[in-house]
Structure 1
Amino acid sequence: MTKYTIQIPNPCTENWNTMTPTERGKFCSNCKKEVINYQYYSNNQLFKSLNNDEKICGRFSPYQINIELKATKTNPLYQLGLFLGFSSLLLSTPVYSQNGKSKMEIVESKSDDELKQKSSDEFVEFYGKIIGKATTGNENSYSIQGVNIVQKSTKNSVQSNFDGDFKIKIPLEDFRDEVTLVFNYIGMETKEVKLSTTKNHLKIEMIVSNVLMGEVVIVKYKKRNIFTRIGKVFKKNTTH
């Protein structure tokens, strides 16, 4: 079975967040290449995507580098069992109990429309701007569009606009406890900010997460099976 590891001998230092978005990642204007974002690929997806000899520039999480990659095979007997089980469901006749009654649990929850019906006095409105923090001396800060901003432990969420600005309403009653906003964006470290009703203008700085980017080098090798090993030992002994 062929296996391989991914290596990036010369990591790239270009700013990922200033590159032009593409279908599979971003385009680097400096080296004129598409940088494919593999950061959230599984090991099996990496194996299938990179198991070729073409030159690829990619972006990876540290745990994806220098590890053994191999294809995951599905047991044929397991697949047969799934097929037979699915077939039996199609062929079987449903049986209904005359005495059994289905139980339905009704859970009350407040919808977005109900929240909108509240008066402005029942909300605290927060405004803010999200920027990418410069990590080197020759790099400027930049606005980040599309950051997910979520009120922790709720479904209350918004996204930053083209200029990195956002606005979010927090129910006043939520401030009986601690209120926290979570800022999440691919390629950036997640940030949590505790809110106070006395400060509703926020400046959020996010930094690039610990990722590796650069031209991919694939190191392939084959695992020797027991028969190959025995054959080599036999050949060695017969040459003496």
Structure 2
Amino acid sequence: MKPKKVNYQIEEPCHADWDQMKPEAQGRFCSSCSKTVVDFSAMSDFSIVNYLENNKHQSVCGRFAEDQLDKTYLLPKQNHSPFQFDLKAVALGLALSTFSAIPSQAQTSTLVEQHDSIQEPRVMIQGAVAMSYDHSNEKFVSGKIKLDGGHSGIIKITLVDGSSVELLSVTASKNNTFKIPLDWSKNPASIRISAPGYGSETIYFSNHQALGNLTVTLHERPMIKGKVVRQTN
């Protein structure tokens, strides 16, 4: 199975002065929005994905180099823990240190000509981080719908493309589950779920890491009952 991909964007860049913010362990504290701006600019790809995926249900403000946002990241497999990743890194480090400990006589000396160069400054961007997942290798969107009011009824699930055009509609099964095939040539982007007496919910694919086994709750719309009084001016 192909690894899942994710993009991180800052839709509305923050123009607060980074140098005026109070330094903290993970970045700096922004007094204008009263929260920590995490400094991702020096992090590895693994560290960026690890932090943002562990905090994907929270609003995260971050500071990135421009080239860090203009790329697609690979999500690690779920059965790979950060600890396992670190063990591989340690093993690689030990191998490299062992190689470097070999006496210099056993190595071929090579004269390397060095040139002075000026590194261009990286453009930094800071603001709230928005995630966008790639699902092009998934064949279905499926899940279960919960009705918080307890009343049963026909639940309609509509597949919608990126231009808000309805592609197809189905009804949920007796146990409120659904499974819809996905044709990515038609650019499916979301599903809209509705039922009589309940507020509708829209699930955008780009906001979810996986499209299988989604759980959606529909909330009952408040109703008012009583005698109708007609008033005229």
TM-score band, normalised by shorter chain: 0.3 to 0.5
TM-score, with structure 1 as normaliser:
0.38
TM-score, with structure 2 as normaliser:
0.39
- Structure number with the higher helix fraction is 1
